A = this chain, B = another copy of it.
């Protein structure tokens, strides 16, 4: 990773900062991707920004303040550069919350259930419930029939949805496609649930033929299903209607299954895409979660979790369960996040999001076409703004553009902050660098037909 500003700082004998990008372990490469050993970075404790004890005369000299100010200024510069070169993660970095700066110095904490009053007065429940109502309207569930809260991130939404499913069906088996987010499998293990992995199509969608086989093999137990509204790597949208149909065909009536929809990114985009299968509580689903820092954009991770009130009553009637009336996972919750979301939703409205979604889809098509035109393997699912393509072999390039990679593929998630200009810069740089990577006849671009299908692969065999 390139150092933005590599001149060491020596101030008053305090820690030297040589590089703000903390490169703690060897670069991950394709082969190492599947290893899971925790490796403590060799120099992580020396390259970090040490906390030092103030010196006796610090207050009079102002040295410590000056030191910290310089650290923060350099860090800010680095953040600006890193924010500019960012394509791989589905975060909308395009927001302006200047109007909310006035609230930063309050310790805003939404303790426990948003619908149950707390004596702690420095909260933002009134914003939180306003945001939840907006999402309830989006996903078509009455105010009197839903329960929800603003979570710390998409993972908390999944942990909550799957926990609710388990409480509704204590002996239920969790079904999730192999390309589901890892938090889904983490939840199964945490909660000691039986878990069955279901195969995927090349697109990344759940393979309902395989799903049916696995359902039939476990007919005696209720089914808890994680449905992906946009997978992490390929942005694939599971066909909710086909999942429900498969359950019915396999003999699972509605009182024997629970569907959690992991809508991390696309849960908010999909409602604005024509032709897309609708995520709605008018269908027999139990919960939907979405991340707030992704499509909406927010300075910190957060998410929205909506479920049916009846399920929360099941959960909360189990007194021993919670030993409190708090049906959230985390107790204390960041009260700033709901205000950020409230602010953006108010400014953009449904119409504003619709426009942004259309722009993202258009730009994603543009990127896919430009890559294919340059002879680079690339795939774009119909309902998605995630462009999957051949992994660049130069790790410096991968880091510079902060691409998320898996095996031989990488992806760019086209968010509202990703403009045509940025995509042009990216493709031009990729094409130029790539011509040097593969100038030697011995090195050839990898075949990624197994990941994207042969029709999307431009390797020597498939082009």
Binding site for B on A (CB under 8 A): 1, 20-25, 27-28, 35-41, 44-45, 47-54, 64, 68-69, 72, 75-76, 79, 82-83, 85-86, 88-89, 91-93, 95-109, 113, 115-117, 119-131, 133-134, 143-144, 147, 152-156, 159, 163, 182-183, 185-186, 189-192, 291, 293, 297-301, 309, 312-313, 316-327, 329-336, 339, 342-343, 345-352, 398-399, 402-405
Contact = CB atoms under 8 A, between A and B. Distances in A.
A306 to B, nearest CB: 14
A106 to B, nearest CB: 5
B300 A343 contact: no
A147 B85 contact: no
A356 to B, nearest CB: 13
B126 A106 contact: no
Given A91-B107, A101-B104, A399-B121, A300 B334 contact: yes
Copies in the assembly, this chain: 2
A129 B38 contact: no
A323 B186 contact: yes
A409 B229 CA distance: 48
A323 B185 contact: yes
Given A20-B126, A22-B125, A53-B351, A36 B316 contact: yes
A6 to B, nearest CB: 14
B95 A130 contact: no
A153 B115 contact: no
Contact of A347 (B23, B54, B332): B54
B300 A21 contact: no
A348 B54 contact: yes
Given A45-B143, A82-B122, A25 B116 contact: yes
Contacts of A88: 119-120
Contact of A130 (B48, B85, B97, B133): B48
Given A45-B133, A293-B109, A317-B37, A153 B331 contact: yes
B38 A402 contact: no
A28 B69 CA distance: 46
B93 A122 contact: yes
Across the A-B interface, give the 4 residue pairs with the lowest CB-CB distance, nearest first. Answer: A82-B121, A48-B129, A301-B332, A153-B332
A110 to B, nearest CB: 9
B38 A301 contact: no
B331 A402 contact: no
A398 B190 CA distance: 39
A403 B119 contact: yes
Contacts of A329: 155, 159
Given A92-B107, A93-B106, 17 more contacts: A23-B117, A28-B117, A38-B327, A39-B115, A39-B116, A48-B133, A53-B350, A68-B343, A79-B106, A79-B122, A83-B106, A88-B119, A109-B300, A189-B321, A291-B332, A300-B335, A301-B330
Nearest to A137: B51
B99 A72 contact: yes
Contacts of A68: 99, 343, 346-347
15 contacts: A48-B127, A48-B133, A53-B349, A64-B347, A72-B100, A72-B103, A79-B106, A93-B122, A100-B104, A153-B330, A155-B332, A186-B322, A291-B332, A300-B334, A301-B332
A154 B331 contact: yes
